[in-house]
Structure formats: C-alpha cells, structure tokens
Copies of this chain bind each other. A is one copy, B any other.
C-alpha cells in the first residue's frame, strides 16, 4: 500500500516515500521549497518561492500540497497564536521558539532521553497522540544585539 515514487523531474532532494499520494511536479516543488531554506515559511511565502521555479502554480495548489505533505507526514504544520500557519520539514520531535524581536521561528530539539509529556500531570488513561510546544521570547541573537527590532 505504501510505495515509493521517484521524482518525475530533476530536483534537489532524493526520492521520498510519499505513501499513497502521487509525487506530482507541484508537490515536489513545494517540498523542495521547504527543504531549500529551512526557515518556517507561511503558505503565501511558499507560494512566492515556488512560483520562481514554477510560475503556473496557484496558491490553492500550494495549500493543497502543504496539506497532502502534512498528511503524508513529510512536513509539519506550525501554529503560533492565530497567525498564518507555517510549515517545516523537520521530522524529528521538536518544539518551536518564536522570537518576538526578529519574528523568526526556531526549531528546538528535545534533549536526549527527555520526554515532552513528562512534566504534565495527565489523568490516568489519557492517550497522547500529538504534542505541540510553542515558546515565545527573545533569541540569543536579538538579546546580544540589544533587542534592535523592538526597542
């Protein structure tokens, strides 16, 4: 049921297990955009970047592709407050740190052998399928530079 598809055209990344989905040109383009610069672009930003390689792609398709890729487990959707969703190709368990000064989103790795759920007193019998941790504050860069963006 789960097969591998080879990319139908030249691309920067190797072949990817795409599950039941077809690896179309558009999905490949969106996937490549996310891997080219590993910041955390919004759908619109992905759209702008994808258009450089594929001017015919539409915003609706970018939304579709991002959803498909998310369902396939190839990218993660990142939500900070009520702002536009951002997307990231980091598949390791990680949290997100949002710097209020430079407005950047950083990935934060889980410490070796640490457990993100451990600090929380869940009732017996709860089943956790998914944890999302979002931190907000000031990143080391902005801190050193005297909080330029906000001061």
Contacts and interface: CB of A to CB of B under 8 A. Distances in A.
Nearest to A134: B132
Contacts of A110: 119-121
Interface string A85-103: 1000000000101001000
Given A120-B133, A132-B134, A133-B131, A126 B139 contact: yes
Contacts of A123: 106, 139-140
Interface residues of A, number: 42
A143 B125 contact: yes
A120 B111 contact: yes
Given A125-B144, A126-B140, A135 B120 contact: yes
Given A131-B135, A137-B126, A111 B119 contact: yes
A140 B119 contact: no
B136 A130 contact: yes
Given A81-B79, A82-B85, A135 B130 contact: yes
A143 to B, nearest CB: 6
A91 to B, nearest CB: 17
A150 to B, nearest CB: 12
Contacts of A143: 125-127
A119 B120 contact: no
B130 A133 contact: no
7 contacts: A79-B79, A108-B122, A111-B118, A125-B140, A128-B135, A131-B134, A132-B135
